[in-house]
Amino acid sequence: MEQQKPNQQEPPKRDNYYMPLLGGLLIVLLINGLLMPGLRGKQIVTTDYGTFVEKVDSGLVTGVVIEGDNIFFTEKNGERETTFQTGSMDDPELVDRLLQAKSPNEDGHIRFLRTVPRENSPLLDFLLWWVLPGLLFYAIWRQTSKSLQARMGGGSFLSPGNSGAKIYADSSIKTTFADVAGQDEAKDALREIVDFLHKPDKYARIGATLPKGALLVGPPGTGKTLIARAVAGEAKVPFFAISGSEFVQMFVGMGAAKVRDLFKQAGDKAPCIIFIDEIDAIGKKRDTAMGNDEREQTLNQLLTEMDGFDGRKGVVILAATNRPESLDKALLRPGRFDRRIQMELPDLEGRKAILNVHLKTVQHEQVDVDLVARATAGSSGAELANIVNEAALRAVRAGRDRVTTADLEESVETVIAGAQKKGKVLSEEERKIVSYHETGHALVAALQTHSAPVHKITIVPRTSGALGYTMQVDSGEQALLSREDLFNRIATLTGGRAAEEAICHTVTTGASNDIEQATRLARAMVTRYGMSAKYDMMGLETVNNAYLGGDTSLACSADTAADIDREVLQLIQEAHAKARELITTHADIMHEAAGFLLEKETITGDEFMAIVNKHLHPGN
């Protein structure tokens, strides 16, 4: 900084954008330290150029600093000093005005300065204009790349092929076929793959090759992922696990690159197993409509890779899905997925085996596994594991260190109907209606020959919304159901409403779930099971997503659909009439059983059947 003279020419200006912090600090030091040491910490007031000229002419200004397009000046009024800031103007007479003006300073003149911008060296310009922005851009790119890499499962802009699969070494997989119960047929189909990985020469001598792929198909919770890990654990080979959804990426080509990288890694670590869970995410059928280009390219790459690798290397592809009907036909042909392994819901013996496997992990007394297995018909392996865990939690809440059969029975009811709501208060009239309703179900079931025995009746409300329920447990496993079996089930479902009508002389909303189940069962008898005399064996309905709830769609005309409704209504009316007749004929059983249920809230099937037999066979 140097003092200006009246006839001194101003040095050429140059905008300085790269050191704002240092320049600002220098200005503050110069103003506060050199020119106005008494103003440190005081506020700077913004004003206009005209006010600046007036204050200069009034003789109150002590100092002026010109910094670029800004002018800082200090006014002294008595003992008070104030610093102002204004913008500079194209005023060629400013220097003369400052020289001629009076000032409160000792010499009577205004001290004024102009900062002189300094030229940076070429090296500094290069660093500030090229190197520093480059480093900043690189840091931003690295951070963005890492973020996208995490979202894409390992890929980035420069390395999009990272598959993102979880890789398990052969020593880290402890799961074996002993941990998989209730799926004996699936284990038998996969044991050959394990044997091939162990002894490839035995198959090579005869010219056999390893199946390239096996598709695991079944409802959720049946152990598809578990059995895939068990294959790797038995074979003692690396295990690549990835979900089909991880191949679907934002950018076209990313999914195909992941597929290529996955098979390359697998080829380098062969023999090994690749497991693709939920393969329907990328393996859906291709059609002529405009679809997802990324998903279709990923599927094409998967088909190409499955054709391209040599099965003799020992790379096995296992895939799992709940929707096999949605997969592309090219994916299912021999040479890609050579085997289709069904993972169905376990039967009675399978449920016993699964329960025994999970009971090994908890402390328990001698439990009736057969009873629990019969009470859990239609449950998957995951649901059975949850039941055992709920029983263990119930034992802990009760202050016991061992699980009992009662814990398992209660956990079955908790999973099916929800936990007990003992705090819910019903009026006496409501409790009476619920009691007769549930007794009606039980009585109709007990008086029919083709019906499961009553196991338990309760009027304790549950968190699912049920105010009570009747549990029936089959003595064995039924593979086939006759028309009489299904009709009696509908009659049992209508027994609750029939009891309300015949005994309580009213109808309530408590039968809503019964109505839904009875209607679905009657419709299936007409449309899918060929149990209607009018339509004989004509299929009128198709099932979609059989493993995911089984949504149905009619395959008939509108006139036929209306006639189907009439057939369904007739079936339900016949069953309802049968239930009403049974309850009216045996009203004495209803009254005694309902009164006993009102008193106890929960009665067993044996207690209920004792009341029934006392009235049906009074001499025994």
336: its two tokens:
């890609």
Residues contacting residue 191 through CB under 8 Å, at least 6 positions apart:
177, 234
Tokens of 620: 């025994």
Q: Label residue 377 exposed, middle or buried (CB < 10 Å: 0-12, 13-18, 19+).
A: middle
In the chain the first and final C-alpha atoms are separated, in Å, by: 122
Q: Which one, of 194, 152, 192, 153, lies nearest residue 170 by Cα?
A: 194
User: What are 362-370's contacts with CB under 8 Å, separation 24+?
Assistant: 362/388, 362/389, 362/391, 362/392, 362/403, 363/401, 363/402, 363/403, 364/402, 364/403, 364/404, 365/402, 365/403, 365/404, 365/405, 367/403, 367/404, 367/405, 367/408, 368/405
Contact 457, 361 (CB under 8 A): no
Q: Are 131 and 195 in contact (CB under 8 A)?
A: no
- Cα 456 from chain centroid? 36
Residue in 246, 278, 305, 438 annotated catalytic: 438
Report the SS3 class of residue 36. coil
Residue 428 a catalytic site member: no
Indicate left, alpha or beta for 617 from its phi (over 0: left) and psi (-120 to 50: alpha): beta
Tokens of 86: 């204004």
Beta bridge partners of 541: 554
- From the number of C-beta atoms within 10 Å of its C-beta (0-12, 13-18, 19+), residue 617 rates as exposed
Is residue 404 within 8 A of residue 445, CB to CB? The reply is: no
Token digits of residue 239: 């295990």
CA dihedral 275, 211, 350, 230 (to 10 degrees): -40
Reported as half-sphere exposure (CB side, CA atoms, 13 A), residue 124 has a value of: 8
Six-digit token string for 582: 């049974």
- HEC readout, 521-576: HHHHHHHCCCCECCCECCCCEEEECCCCCCEEEECCCHHHHHHHHHHHHHHHHHHH
Residue 263: phi, psi to the nearest 5?
-70, -30
d(CA 281, CA 222): 19
DSSP characters over 271-299: SEEEEEESGGGT-BPP-SS---HHHHHHH
Where in the sequence numbering do the catalytic residues fall?
438
